[in-house]
Structure 1
Amino acid sequence: MAIRSALIKYGIYFVLLFLILFFSVASDAFLSVNNLLNILRQVSIIGIVAVGMTYVILTAGIDLSIGSIIGVSAVLAAKLMLFGMNPFLACIITLIVGIIIGLMNTYFIHEIQIPPLIVTLATLTALRGIAYIITGGLPVYGLPEGYSIVGQGYFLGIPVPVIVMIVCFVAGYIVLEKTRFGRYVYGVGSNEEASRLSGVNVRKVKYIAYCLSGFLSALAGLVLLSRVNSGQPTAGTGYELDVIIGVVLGGVSMNGGEGRISGVITGILIMGVLTNGMILLNISEYYQLVVKGGVLLLAVSLDYMTKKRRVKVATT
């Protein structure tokens, strides 16, 4: 029983360690400093968005629109800068747009009572279309030279996107673990009706969670824009899968009300190490998709089995 409990509690860390050891043996290039920094840089975009997704899933919701928000944010900011707007002002406007999208998602989810899956799937589709309309289906080039530091620069030897991700994780952790709002997020996800009867403003909690997801997705779009130095209408495509896998792998329950930011960090790193390792081993992208889908199914299965076991123990 002690071994089983340890595996359930610390299994994700064993998985990360196993992957690091496996790819270290399989590829001489894996443990190089450049490659390790590359892994962190690659997961930074996913990590930034994962913080917002963690809040949403903890409230028993889901946000599939994050990939399209990244794309719209990237092309919107690129267009504004191309028209001569100050880069800082363009970024502020883009972040506000991300918050507005979060407001729209929450309105249909909470006020109209449409399931989050349907609402955010519709938003995903519509926003991707808007990204193509804004750009005419073509990449947007000609960004200000100084803007590249956001996605390509270094500070004390650490890539700037990684620093942005770390700041987001630290802030997300503090709010979830140390504030009243964080307790409300867990409460709404565990039992929405009980939280409402206890005086929690469920409506406000959901609005903040989805707005945070929209804001951080827009922020990730701005970082990605700087990293590739162009506004791509396809930017962020498929990111929702990587983010959800990372969050669920990190121990956040799809049923809501359970999970920690610290686990999410590990889940994101597992996805980064796994993707990077498969690329170094020249594994086809098609097989990579199969592996990612299998990992998501395994993670969700473990989540449900663990929850059923706890319910069984509690009722006996």
Structure 2
Amino acid sequence: MTAPPSSPAPPSRPRRRGPAAHHIGAYGLPALTVLLFLVFSLLLPRTFPTRDTVHALLSSQSIPAVLALAATVPIVTGAFDLSLGYGLGLAHVMVMQLVVNERWPWPWACLAVVAGGAAVGVLNGVVVEFGRIDSFIATLGTGSMMYAVTGWVTGGGRIVPGPQGLPPAFTDLYDSTLLGLPVPAFYVLVLTLALWLVLERLPLGRYLYVIGSNPRAADLVGIPARRYTVYAFTASGLVVAFAGVLLAAQQQIGNPSVGLDYLLPAFVGALLGSTAIRPGRPNALGTLVAVALLAVGLTGIGQLGADFWTIPLFHGGTLLLAVGLAGYSARRLRTGADAPREAPAPSPVPPSPGQDGGTPGTTP
């Protein structure tokens, strides 16, 4: 007789958080946004919780929100589009050039610029995927080329409308209201819902997420990763061009130096948004929440009388925090630690007498 062998230890399973912790991770950022709004409302009761402040938030943050959504799409595939700021500057300058100097009807000018933005997105995607160049380097190079085109079109100066100004219908794209709210807020809402639908409910979105999380697995299951990555950059370029149209309608002047100031807020919103709603995954609703948090924070800080240099400080610090939190959420998602706790697996049943050639505790 020999001593009965000890039963093998069950395989270790990733430690899973409970439902409460999971909800805190998913909805902590929206809760923080609400809390921050309440704090500034208590500190600035006469200026912050007013209709004018809300109206200004919805209007002034529409372009940063659109750009953040544009940055989100390539990030889903694991790529970064650093040409966003340059593309925004070129798009708004081209709208002004076509409307003011070339005398195009403004609808045709806007359509041509949006189509050109999509073409730039295709170029970025082709350079990244078929040229096998890192997305940081590739989009920085194409962005610098776009900045050169912007300077060539404007001659280094500004494009100023004549005494008659711009067509009122064109400026109304940004200045008008709907249901008492700025129209640009509805653009952001529609774009967010469209992006959410594509990423969360359509096969295209699932393919993009697979490419971003595991390109090798995407190839093994037959997903054409290169083609879908080009699609992602194309969508990003199209949305950036749309933001350029809004910027032209807002500023009503062609400024070749504008655009780069929007690059950092766009990436802060996109990366910070990947820690909310769907932690560890870039998503449209999370990006929208992140932009709202940044808008509330910057507006409150501004009304408290902070100096101008606090804005880049706020954006830079938030970017570092966003990258750290996004990486942490992605690691927890890969290990399964961010999933809700499930019922424990049943213990393995020991073999009954007679199985495996004998009775436990005896040698055959």
**TM (normalized to structure 2)?**
0.81
Take 1:251 and 1:225, find their aligned partners in 2: how far apart are those partners? 30
* Partner secondary structure for residue 259 of structure 2: coil
Report the Cα offset of residue 113 of structure 1: 0.7
For the 8 Å contact 2:280–2:329, the answer to whether it is kept is no
Q: Given residue 81 of structure 2, which amino acid in structure 1 is its aligned partner? A: D
Please identify runs of 4+ aligned residues in structure 1 that moved more than 6 A.
Answer: none
1: CA distance between counterparts of 2:202 and 2:21? 32
In 1, Cα distance between the equivalents of 2:328 and 2:92? Answer: 39
Aligned length: 312
1:51 Cα deviation from its structure 2 partner = 2.1
- Unaligned residue ranges in structure 1 (runs of 5+): none
Q: CA deviation at 1:259?
A: 3.0
Aligned to 1:62: 80
The worse-fitting range, judged by mean Cα deviation, of 261-270 and 119-128 is 119-128
Structure 1 residues 89-238: aligned runs within 5 Å? 89-142=108-161, 143-238=166-261
Aligned partners of 1:30, 1:93: CA distance in 2, in Å?
A: 40
Per the TM alignment, residue 311 of structure 1 is displaced from its structure 2 partner at its CA by 5.0
Q: Distance in 2 between the 1:87 and 1:245 partners?
A: 32
- The one-letter code of the counterpart of 2:266 is V
Give the 3-state SS of the residue equivalent to 1:150 in structure 2: helix
In the aligned structure 2, how far is the partner of 1:167 from the partner of 1:308? 31
RMSD of the alignment, in Å? 1.9
Matched with 1:270 is 293
In 1, distance between residues paired with 2:22 and 2:285? 18
Output one character per residue of 1:207-260: Cα deviation in whole Å (capped at 9) or x when no partner: 11101111100100100110111121122222121011111111269xx98232
Which amino acid in 2 is paired with 1:26? L
Deviation, 1:291, is 1.6
> Between the two proteins, what is the percent identity of the paired residues?
28
Does the aligned pair in 2 maintain the 1:250–1:265 contact within 8 Å? yes
Contact 2:274–2:280 (Cα < 8 Å) also in 1: no
Within the alignment, does 1:33 sit opposite 2:56 as a pair?
no
SS in 2 for 1:95: helix
Task: Give 1:128 shift.
Answer: 1.9
Distance 2:127 2:168 in 1: 40
Q: TM-score, normalised by structure 1?
A: 0.93
The aligned residue for residue 308 of structure 2 is 285
Corresponding residue for 2:33?
A: 16
The amino acid across from 2:175 in the alignment is Q
Q: Which amino acid aligns with 1:19?
A: L
Matching residue's letter, 1:145? P
Greater fraction of residues in helix = 1
Q: CA deviation at 1:30?
A: 1.1
